[in-house]
Structure 1
Amino acid sequence: MSGCAQQSPSHIAISEMPPTLQSPYERLHPAKPAKRYEPANDLVAAIKKAQHDTVWERLVALYSLPTIDNERVERQLQWYLSHPEYIERIQQRAEPYLYFILDEVEAKKIPGEMALLPAVESAFRPTAYSSSHASGLWQFIPSTGRLFGLKQNWWYDGRRDIIASTRAATRYLKELSEEFDNDWLLALASYNAGKGNIRKAIDHNKAQQRNTDYWSLNLRRETMDYVPRLLAIAKIFADPDQYDIALHDIPNQPYFEVVNIKSQLDLSKAVEMAQTPIDDFLVLNPAFNRWSTDPDGPHRLLIPVDKADQFKQKLDSLPEKERMKWVRHKIQPGENLSIIAQKHNSSIPAIKTSNHLSSNRIRAGKYLLIPVSQRGLNSRPFSKKQNSGRLVYTVKKGDTFWQIARKFSVSSKDLARWNQLSLNKPLYPGQKLIIKQTSAAAIAAGRTLPLGG
Structure 2
Amino acid sequence: MSKSIFNNNVKALILLVSLTALVGCAPQPAQEDAVAAKPSTCANGSIRKGDCKLLGLTEPAPETNPDLWHHIINGYQLTDFSDKPRVQEYFGFYRDRPVFLQTITERSSRYMHYIVEAINERNMPMEFALLPAIESSFDPFAYSHGRAAGLWQFVPVTAKHMGLPRTWWYDGRRDVMASTEAALDYLLELHSRFDGDWLLAMAAYNSGATTVNRAIRRNRKAGRDTDFWSLSLPEETEAYIPKLIALTQLIRQSEQEGISIASIPNEATFEIVETNGQIDLAQAAELAGISIDEMYHYNPGYNRWATDPNGPHRLAIPIGNAPQFKAALAEIPPSQRLNWSRYRVEPGDSLIKIARHFNTDVATIKAANKLSSNTIRAGQTLLLPSASMADSHYSLSEQQRLASAQQKGQSTGKQSVYHQVKSGESLWTISRKYGVGTKELARWNNMVPKDPLQTGRKLVIWQSKPISLASSERDNRSVIRWVAYTVRRGDSLARIADRFSVNVNEIAKWNNIDTRKYLKPGQVLSLYVDVTQLSGR
Q: Name the TM-score, length of structure 2 as normaliser.
A: 0.64
* Corresponding residue for residue 109 of structure 1: 123
Q: After superposition, where does 1:177-188 map in structure 2 within 5 Å?
A: 177-188=191-202
- Among 164, 185, 189, the residue aligned to 1:150: 164
* Greater RCO (Cα-Cα under 8 Å, separation 6 or more): 1
1:67 aligned partner, one-letter code: D
SS at match of 1:223: helix
2:181 aligned partner, one-letter code: R
* Corresponding residue for residue 403 of structure 1: none
Looking at structure 2, the residues matched to 149 and 295 of structure 1 have their Cα atoms a distance apart, in angstroms, of: 18
SS at match of 2:177: helix
Looking at structure 2, the residues matched to 109 and 92 of structure 1 have their Cα atoms a distance apart, in angstroms, of: 26
- The answer to whether the 8 Å contact 1:390/1:435 transfers is no
Shift in Å at residue 282 of structure 1? Answer: 1.5
* Corresponding residue for residue 96 of structure 2: 82
Shift in Å at residue 41 of structure 1? Answer: 6.0
Looking at structure 2, the residues matched to 41 and 105 of structure 1 have their Cα atoms a distance apart, in angstroms, of: 20
* Corresponding residue for residue 240 of structure 1: 254
SS at match of 1:160: coil
Moved more, 219-228 or 379-388: 379-388
Looking at structure 2, the residues matched to 435 and 159 of structure 1 have their Cα atoms a distance apart, in angstroms, of: 21
* Corresponding residue for residue 467 of structure 2: none
* Corresponding residue for residue 59 of structure 1: 72
* Corresponding residue for residue 266 of structure 2: 252
- Among 218, 228, 234, the residue aligned to 2:232: 218
- The answer to whether the 8 Å contact 2:101/2:261 transfers is no
Looking at structure 1, the residues matched to 358 and 311 of structure 2 have their Cα atoms a distance apart, in angstroms, of: 22
2:397 aligned partner, one-letter code: P
Looking at structure 1, the residues matched to 59 and 382 of structure 2 have their Cα atoms a distance apart, in angstroms, of: 54
Moved more, 134-143 or 345-354: 345-354
Shift in Å at residue 376 of structure 1? Answer: 2.4
* Corresponding residue for residue 387 of structure 1: 406
2:182 aligned partner, one-letter code: A
How much is the aligned-residue C-alpha RMSD, in angstroms? Answer: 2.9
Looking at structure 1, the residues matched to 173 and 437 of structure 2 have their Cα atoms a distance apart, in angstroms, of: 32
- The answer to whether the 8 Å contact 1:260/1:300 transfers is yes
SS at match of 2:147: coil
**Relative to structure 1, is the Cα distance of residues 391 and 80 closer, same or farther in structure 2, using a 3 angstrom cutoff?**
farther
Q: After superposition, where does 1:37-436 map in structure 2 within 5 Å?
A: 47-49=61-63, 51-68=64-81, 69-378=83-392, 381-383=397-399, 385=402, 386-390=405-409
Looking at structure 2, the residues matched to 391 and 173 of structure 1 have their Cα atoms a distance apart, in angstroms, of: 41
- The answer to whether the 8 Å contact 2:281/2:295 transfers is no
Provide, for residues 239-292 of structure 1, a one-character-per-residue CA deviation record: whole Å limited to 9, x for no partner. Answer: 211222212121100000000111110111001011112222211111111100
**Relative to structure 1, is the Cα distance of residues 158 and 435 closer, same or farther in structure 2, using a 3 angstrom cutoff?**
closer
Shift in Å at residue 381 of structure 1? Answer: 1.0
Looking at structure 1, the residues matched to 183 and 212 of structure 2 have their Cα atoms a distance apart, in angstroms, of: 18
2:264 aligned partner, one-letter code: I
Shift in Å at residue 52 of structure 1? Answer: 1.1
* Corresponding residue for residue 30 of structure 1: none
Provide, for residues 381-406 of structure 1, a one-character-per-residue CA deviation record: whole Å limited to 9, x for no partner. Answer: 124643222499xxxxxxxxxxxxxx
**Relative to structure 1, is the Cα distance of residues 306 and 331 closer, same or farther in structure 2, using a 3 angstrom cutoff?**
same
SS at match of 1:66: coil
- The answer to whether the 8 Å contact 1:154/1:349 transfers is no
Looking at structure 1, the residues matched to 201 and 190 of structure 2 have their Cα atoms a distance apart, in angstroms, of: 5
Provide, for residues 307-357 of structure 1, a one-character-per-residue CA deviation record: whole Å limited to 9, x for no partner. Answer: 100110000111334211011123344432123223323332332243343
- The answer to whether the 8 Å contact 2:190/2:201 transfers is yes
Structure showing greater Rg: 2
- The answer to whether the 8 Å contact 2:281/2:292 transfers is no
Aligned residues: 368
Shift in Å at residue 137 of structure 1? Answer: 0.2
Provide, for residues 95-126 of structure 1, a one-character-per-residue CA deviation record: whole Å limited to 9, x for no partner. Answer: 01110001111112211001110000000000
Provide, for residues 394-430 of structure 1, a one-character-per-residue CA deviation record: whole Å limited to 9, x for no partner. Answer: xxxxxxxxxxxxxxxxxxxx9xxx99699xxxxxxxx
**Relative to structure 1, is the Cα distance of residues 165 and 421 closer, same or farther in structure 2, using a 3 angstrom cutoff?**
closer
Looking at structure 2, the residues matched to 434 and 359 of structure 1 have their Cα atoms a distance apart, in angstroms, of: 37
Looking at structure 2, the residues matched to 362 and 168 of structure 1 have their Cα atoms a distance apart, in angstroms, of: 41
**Relative to structure 1, is the Cα distance of residues 256 and 421 closer, same or farther in structure 2, using a 3 angstrom cutoff?**
closer
- The answer to whether the 8 Å contact 1:391/1:437 transfers is no
Q: After superposition, where does 1:21-40 map in structure 2 within 5 Å?
A: none
SS at match of 1:369: strand
**Relative to structure 1, is the Cα distance of residues 299 and 61 closer, same or farther in structure 2, using a 3 angstrom cutoff?**
same
SS at match of 1:306: coil
**Relative to structure 1, is the Cα distance of residues 220 and 96 closer, same or farther in structure 2, using a 3 angstrom cutoff?**
same
SS at match of 1:132: helix
Looking at structure 1, the residues matched to 59 and 444 of structure 2 have their Cα atoms a distance apart, in angstroms, of: 45
1:161 aligned partner, one-letter code: D
Provide, for residues 156-187 of structure 1, a one-character-per-residue CA deviation record: whole Å limited to 9, x for no partner. Answer: 11111011000000100110111111100000
- The answer to whether the 8 Å contact 1:328/1:370 transfers is yes
Shift in Å at residue 220 of structure 1? Answer: 1.2
Moved more, 241-250 or 137-146: 241-250
2:398 aligned partner, one-letter code: F
1:288 aligned partner, one-letter code: Y
Q: Name the TM-score, length of structure 1 as normaliser.
A: 0.75
Shift in Å at residue 437 of structure 1? Answer: 6.2
